């Protein structure tokens, strides 16, 4: 893959991230830091892309023209849809952007609709689930919490998200943020708190896990570290980089679960600085822990059926 193609796909992802024009300063700063990190890792000049997109100097049609194969154009559209839906089903401004992108990429309406329907279904997943891959230990507010069961729930969620990053389907990556959102919801419920989606989203942003920026980072690391195998005409992830993405998703999910546990167990008394500090410390611990559980992550990926998982999540 040529540097110009990497720049073009990242530019499209950044355009998608800013399409609704309502990103708060925290999210914009997250995205800037991510782009800076990706530039250092890839050796490709990406910060200029960030600046050009932010200032409206990078034209969508120019980015689309750099993608000269159907697979690359399809990938760019799927990633843009994932970015737009990371913080909820895409709004009118994001819908208009995706329509422009589809036309610029020359994709059929049927093809594009299939991708957007799948992403919208994930973005609209209910926080509550009767059963599924991330289940919480039952506990009334006055009852003692089963700490061992809570540990297992957080670890299983981290292993699942690490495994999802090893799969070639972009839909698998789109499932990670809804799973993290549901994890925080169920931890809060374990400690007697009934949370809505807005509270959970704000909690993630406060600890430093922006929804849009996290998806940009997940995708960006795949982009600079090795593309999905289908882009290269192969069955699986072809080049290195999948392990890096898996480690990131495992660590962020585990750290998020543990900091949520501290927050709700303590009566929601930690302030924003304390939450950020706790998450940063736990993230370092989680990265070391990921190596220990790598065999389980890989085994989970081998038996993971994305279609079945989506059905379970929508149940």
CA-CA distance, 99 to 96, in Å (whole number)? 5
Contact 69, 54 (CB under 8 A): no
Q: What is the 3-state secondary structure (H, E, C) of 260-273?
A: HHHHHHCCCCCCHH
- How confident is the prediction for the chain on average, in pLDDT? 79
CA distance 227 to 236: 10
Residue 224 confidence (pLDDT) above 80: no
Q: pTM of the prediction?
A: 0.75
Least reliable range by pLDDT among 50-64, 163-177, 244-258: 163-177
pLDDT digits (tens, 9 = 90+) for 73-93: 988 898 888 888 877 667 888
**pLDDT at residue 10, rounded to an integer:** 86
Spatial distance between the Cα atoms of 91 and 109, rounded to a whole number of angstroms: 18
Give whole-number Cα distances, 248 to 145, 199, 223, in Å: 28, 24, 14
Per-residue pLDDT band for 225 (boundaries 50, 70, 90) equals low
More confident residue, 308 or 103: 103
Domain locations in the chain?
A: 3-121, 126-314
Q: Which CATH architecture has domain 3-121?
A: Orthogonal Bundle (1.10)
Distance CA 183, CA 283 (A): 16
Query: How far apart are the C-alpha atoms of 215 and 217, rounded to whole Å?
Result: 5
């Amino acid at each position: 893959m040529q540097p110009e193609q990497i720049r073009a796909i990242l530019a499209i992802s950044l355009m998608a991230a800013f399409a609704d024009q309502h990103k708060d300063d925290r999210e914009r700063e997250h995205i800037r830091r991510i782009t800076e990190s990706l530039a250092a890792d890839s050796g490709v000049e990406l910060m200029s892309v960030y600046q050009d997109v932010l200032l409206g100097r990078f034209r969508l049609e120019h980015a689309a023209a750099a993608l000269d194969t159907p697979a690359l154009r399809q990938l760019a559209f799927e990633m843009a849809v994932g970015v737009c839906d990371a913080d909820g089903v895409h709004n009118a401004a994001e819908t208009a952007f995706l329509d422009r992108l589809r036309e610029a990429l020359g994709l059929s309406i049927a093809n594009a609709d299939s991708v957007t329907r799948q992403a919208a279904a994930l973005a609209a997943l209910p926080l509550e689930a009767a059963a599924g891959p991330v289940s919480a230990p039952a506990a009334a507010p006055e009852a003692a919490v089963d700490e061992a069961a809570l540990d297992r729930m957080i670890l299983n969620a981290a292993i699942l998200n690490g495994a999802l990053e090893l799969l070639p389907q972009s839909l698998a990556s789109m499932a990670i943020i809804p799973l993290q959102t549901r994890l925080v919801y169920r931890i809060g419920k374990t400690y007697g708190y009934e949370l809505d989606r807005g509270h959970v989203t704000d909690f993630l942003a406060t600890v430093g896990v922006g929804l849009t920026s996290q998806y940009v980072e997940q995708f960006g690391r795949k982009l600079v570290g090795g593309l999905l195998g289908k882009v290269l005409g192969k069955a699986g992830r072809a080049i290195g980089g999948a392990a890096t993405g898996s480690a990131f998703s495992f660590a962020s999910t585990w750290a998020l679960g543990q900091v949520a546990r501290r927050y709700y167990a303590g009566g929601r008394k930690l302030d924003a600085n304390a939450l950020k500090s706790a998450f940063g410390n736990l993230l370092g611990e989680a990265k070391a822990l990921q190596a220990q559980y790598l065999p389980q992550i890989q085994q989970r990926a081998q038996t993971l059926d994305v279609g079945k998982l989506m059905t379970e999540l929508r149940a």
